[in-house]
Structure 1
Amino acid sequence: MDQNLSQYKIFYEVARTGNISRAARELYISQPAISKAISKLEDSLGLSLFSRSSRGVQLTPEGQVLFEHAAEAFDALNRGEQELKRIQEFDIGHLRIGVSNTLCKYVLLPYLKTFIDQYPHMKITIESQSTAQTITRLEQRKLDLGLIAEPSSRKDLSFIPVMEIQDTFVTTPTYLENLYLREGRDTNVFETGNIMLLDQSNITRTHVDEYMAEHSISPHQILEVTAMDLLIEFAKIGLGIACVIRELVQKELDSGAFIELPLQAPIHRRTIGFAYHTGNQAMALKTFLEFLY
């Protein structure tokens, strides 16, 4: 569009009212300014938009074509303004969150429940995916917020800590007792037991693999799954020894349903929190950050 938008606005009002003086009153500008703007627009387009008479102005066929498009454009702008007003009045916005299934269930949901109670009109989209995918989409600004383990390199991301977590190995007393009966009590359970881990695309698995390499732990039999919930459920039925987040099975540990394997040194604790791109100025994100604080 080569013309100034104000010229189209003037054209639209003159065409809508059919009268230059009336359009001048509604736009709060002089009649000569109206006439000059219309003439400039006609000159630039190389055709007449109005036919003038003592009774006012009428659209030419070409002017009618332009008016129909201008009406659609200004109607769209008006709807946009009304939508923004509605967003401001009702705290409506669109918050896009990336999170793993595990963190969504155990950490995010309690936050969302309270947030939605305060902002019931907020639209929320949740992408269930790996932490690596969430970080990539945050950096690309395709997500507003991510609930992730604190990354070693943040680049343009800000991080708000929420909690610390501890990875650990658990199993049922029955599984461990059967393993000792079969292999002897001096057995290395990591070599003779069924060790259940998240798959290698998961950042948690990377963290655990680094720990095992550091402490020369080499499982001989590994069962890989894609979700922490499955690890917990498989451990509950006595399928093996699962590496899980202690905070997620604390109830089972307290009740004795699970026992924790003793380790030479604990696995390094990790920090879970909300991450967002520092350049993201979305109102929905600002609202959620204010809610957090």
Structure 2
Amino acid sequence: MDLRQLKFFVEIARHGNFTKAAETLNIAQPALSIAIQKLEEELELVLFNRQKRKVALTAEGEVLLTHAERILDDLRAADMEMADLKGLGMGEVRLGITPMISTYFFPAIIHDFTRQYPRLHISVSGEGAGSIQKMISQGELDMGVIAGGLIPENLEVRHILREEVMVCVPADHAFTRRRAVRYADFAGEPLIMFKEGYYQREMLLEIFKELPGAQPNIVFETNLFSLVKSLVKRGLGISTLLRMVAEDDRDLCAVSFDPPLHLDLMLAWKKGAYLSHANQAFVDFLMEQIRGYDRNRLAVR
């Protein structure tokens, strides 16, 4: 077997589909199928149970996947170490950021980082925190911003931000006359919520479980926070947004929960993985910017 075959094998295992894997790898599906067939013939093992639209790993395939992912991780680490020997004149940071934070907190940081390190390439993927965790674990991202809570044991984290989660309503809503909104009252309103995999949603649903008789009235779900804002303004329902987002829009009213709800954001990367000079430079730069951000917020208060 060779590295090309292993890479093909891992992509098919991730997608559970030859067509999607071929699209990701940017090769023709017949070529991918032939490569995997040759791999199975070389090993004299069946690696996938093939169905019409989906494939699943056999027991033998599961064993190979463990080795293949480790081999490809080691290869990526070797590539990064070799690049590091050339210094910070080159390198890449593959970063995952949740959409809301990428729009309201990170643009200035990314702008300033690229000005300080103009020859480093930074690519950003916008996903929910759950998807970012998975992509880091699978080696698709070097690091990413995830929400606090139960941190997986395979991730190394640094706390970067604590932000209040606000109830967001249109200007004519009755909640605008309150200093704070009880969770049971919020649950009874028509709710526009983020889809599964977004930590704000998971936090609220866990709180609702502890409230007797609280059944959230979800009327719309989306992963687009800009759509959330627009629909709240139009009166379809109410929602939650981080304070930095809610306070930036004069057409929305933001009210605290009773008691207040906060979201902790962490920068995470795979524990034990090699952190390239480019990635370490980004971590150091971000943490320095966070210290300045915190000082500025305290000064304003």
TM-score normalised by L of structure 2: 0.58
SS in 2 for 1:208: helix
Residue 201 to residue 162, structure 1, CA distance change in 2 (3 Å): closer
Q: How does 1:13-24 map to 2 (within 5 A)?
A: none
Cα distance in 2, alignment partners of residues 85 and 264 from structure 1: 50
Give 1:205 deviation, angstroms: 0.9
- 1:33-54 CA-partner distances (Å, limit 9, x unpaired): xxxxxxxxxxxxxxxxxxxxxx
C-alpha separation in 2, matches of 1:235 and 1:245: 14
Residue of structure 2 in register with 1:77 after alignment:
none
Q: CA deviation at 1:200?
A: 2.3
Secondary structure of the equivalent of 1:285? helix
Residue number in structure 1 paired with 2:155: 157
For normalisation by structure 1, the TM-score amounts to: 0.59
Q: How does 1:110-125 map to 2 (within 5 A)?
A: 110-125=108-123
Note if 1:229 corresponds to 2:233.
no
Distance 1:118 1:211, change over 3 A: same
CA distance in 2, matches of 1:270, 1:142: 25
CA contact (8 A) 1:175 1:239 kept: no
Partners of 2:162 and 2:263 within 8 A in 1:
yes
Q: Give the CA deviation at 1:146.
A: 0.2
Q: CA deviation at 1:271?
A: 1.0
Cα 1:151/1:282, change in 2 over 3 Å: farther
Taking a change above 3 Å as real, the CA distance of residues 260 and 112 of structure 1, as seen in their structure-2 partners, is closer
What is the SS of the residue equivalent to 1:158?
strand
One of 268, 273, 279 as aligned partner of 2:266: 273
Q: Partner of 2:172: helix, strand, or coil?
A: helix
List alignment gaps of at least 5 residues for structure 2: 1-78, 176-183, 289-301
Question: Would the aligned equivalents of 2:158 and 2:266 in 1 still touch at CA under 8 Å?
Answer: yes
Count of residues in Structure 1 that have an aligned counterpart in Structure 2: 197
The residue number in structure 2 matching 1:240 is: 237
For 2:274 and 2:206, how far apart are their aligned partners in 1?
33
CA contact (8 A) 1:108 1:147 kept: no
Of structures 1 and 2, the larger Rg is shown by 1
CA contact (8 A) 1:144 1:280 kept: no
Structure 1: unaligned runs, 5 residues or longer: 1-79, 178-186
Quote how far apart the aligned CAs of 1:188 are. 5.3
Query: What SS does the aligned partner of 1:110 have?
Result: helix
Shift of 1:97: 0.7
Q: What secondary structure does 2:267 align onto?
A: strand
Check 1:86–1:168 CA distance in 2 against 1; reply closer, same or farther (3 A cut): same
Report SS of the residue matched to 2:193. Answer: strand
- When the two chains are superposed, the root-mean-square deviation of aligned CA atoms in Å is 2.8
